[in-house]
Amino acid sequence: MQNHIQKEENQKLSSRRIGVEHLICRVKTFRVASDRFRLARHRYNQVIMAVCGLVRLHLNYSFILSHDL
């Protein structure tokens, strides 16, 4: 019984982790997080936050389209 509960918890954790990995992949598509940053260092936070905002905007838009809200 304990083993069954552990498997369910691991499965939930695994599917959450996969979701996070997919989001990281989308951020890396912009090459801000994976390549050398060539702007001034004090701009990095602004740029990465803008990229994360674009990814989130795209996800929200995709969610709305898929659920016909």
HEC string of 3-60 equals: HHHHHHHHHHHHHHHHHHHHHHHHHHHCCCCCCCCCCCHHHHHHHHHHHHHHHHHHHH
pLDDT at position 33 is 67
Q: Give the pLDDT mean for 47-56.
A: 87
Q: Please give the pLDDT value at position 59.
A: 85
pTM for this predicted structure: 0.60
Q: What is the pLDDT of residues 4-41, one digit of tens each?
A: 888 899 998 998 898 888 888 888 887 776 677 777 88
